[in-house]
Structure 1
């Protein structure tokens, strides 16, 4: 029997727990603030896991009619065009994407801006915020940007995109530098493991708890 994890069901009180059962992990509207303001990056994200392993992902960019798809071991595509990450290995000259996160208290903002400052001090070519975590991650998969990091995103933001990035040749890890924990509310993704690790080493942790707490 399949299970479901979704932003709306969790908000309504359902417990967010990933088990060995076949599980759909869904965000029906990623980029809600963008949607409200009619800012274009808005997506639907559907991931699927079995035995706690991500098997495939589908992300639809609603305003741009781009369909990103990937299945474990079978590559990643956008509207049937094969996706490939960049092979940038260092922070210098990399274009890095992130999101601000929901916490806006002074201490959290100081950590957020401090992380951005450290990356820019390493001569990152730029840091961008587009308002949709799933589409930002798809830009890593498509080679339009080199890396992404965030504290405060959820498993439904990450599940489908993780499969897409991995199948495009990229890497998705924890901000500690260790393996990805889908429920940890934190991530670094990049086209190369060297770049992902370099970014992880520069980040100060912003604590958002866990999805399964």
Structure 2
């Protein structure tokens, strides 16, 4: 039997590069900023246009497949992962970076069958780096095979996390309390690129030892999850249990030693699951 998903994988690579070119070429007139769930949860015309390009190209080639896209879900489409072949798409991961010209923006495309992730593609389009991973076939940055770091001493590690878009005082206090405890272990440093997909690729290529966050979405991390796993890393829930793509909470790390040490310091707070009942998000726009 031939490779059943090779054509889908090749299509993902092609459309990721095409989408990345659109993002790079987007001029200031495209950066009309809207907000979704909060004043810091941003979306632009480019996010919406790029998602249409990606889904349109893939649907033309694979009309029977299902799609979960960040902007589609924001408009009320369901976010249900079934056994059917399903594409999980973040057209512009790092929209706030894009708006401000901060140079980390990624196109994230993952593909799942029977609720299992088969491959993931993350195109860091401003860096022009293509990260990719296929189930059982390794992880790569462009044509170079990548692997997680071999660091097991938490004191010699760099950890990545993000603040998320929920700025309620209670949650922000827990986020910064966690960061303080991790810094005081101590670790070499605490970082954040502003894009979960890129953060996971940094774990996969050994630049950092771990990335954790509560409040992320499946489209932020699906592709990165495959890449981390295929680079030899581990994925867990922030409570130490199994990784759940829809839970909106995750630790990705180079090994269990680092992951379990970080988990001891994480102050957990609630986040609605991605597959919870639909809540249509109202956008507010300004130039």
Query: With structure 2 as the length reference, what TM-score do the two structures score?
Result: 0.73
Structure with more helix by fraction:
2
Q: Offset at 1:2?
A: 1.0
Mapped to 2, the partners of 1:153 and 1:87 lie a distance apart of 26
Mapped to 1, the partners of 2:103 and 2:91 lie a distance apart of 16
Is 1:160 equivalent to 2:223 in the alignment? yes
Q: Which protein has greater RCO, CA pairs closer than 8 Å, 6+ apart? A: 1
| Long gaps (5+) in structure 2 | 1-63, 277-287
Aligned to 1:51: 114
Aligned to 2:240: 177
- Segment of structure 1 superposing worse, 197-206 or 141-150: 197-206
Aligned to 1:38: 101
Aligned to 1:134: 197
Mapped to 1, the partners of 2:225 and 2:114 lie a distance apart of 16
Mapped to 2, the partners of 1:202 and 1:48 lie a distance apart of 32
Mapped to 2, the partners of 1:87 and 1:206 lie a distance apart of 30
Give the aligned length.
213
Q: 2:255 aligns with which of 184, 187, 192?
A: 192
Mapped to 2, the partners of 1:90 and 1:198 lie a distance apart of 10
Mapped to 2, the partners of 1:88 and 1:52 lie a distance apart of 32
Q: Write out per-residue CA displacement over residues 175-195 of structure 1, whole angstroms, 9 at most, x where no aligned residue.
A: 010110000001001100111
Mapped to 2, the partners of 1:129 and 1:161 lie a distance apart of 15
Mapped to 2, the partners of 1:92 and 1:20 lie a distance apart of 42
Task: Answer whether contact 1:70 1:167 (CA < 8 A) is retained.
Answer: yes
Aligned to 1:85: 148
Q: Map of 1:114-125 to 2, 5 A cutoff?
A: 114-125=177-188
Structure with more strand by fraction:
1
Secondary structure of 1:136's counterpart equals helix
- Segment of structure 1 superposing worse, 98-107 or 27-36: 98-107
- Segment of structure 1 superposing worse, 27-36 or 80-89: 80-89
Is 1:7 equivalent to 2:78 in the alignment? no
Is 1:28 equivalent to 2:91 in the alignment? yes
Aligned to 2:172: 109
Q: Write out per-residue CA displacement over residues 153-196 of structure 1, whole angstroms, 9 at most, x where no aligned residue.
A: 10001110000000000011110101100000010011001111
Aligned alpha-carbon RMSD (Å): 0.8
Aligned to 1:143: 206
Q: Offset at 1:106?
A: 1.3
Q: Which protein is bigger by CA-based radius of gyration?
A: 2
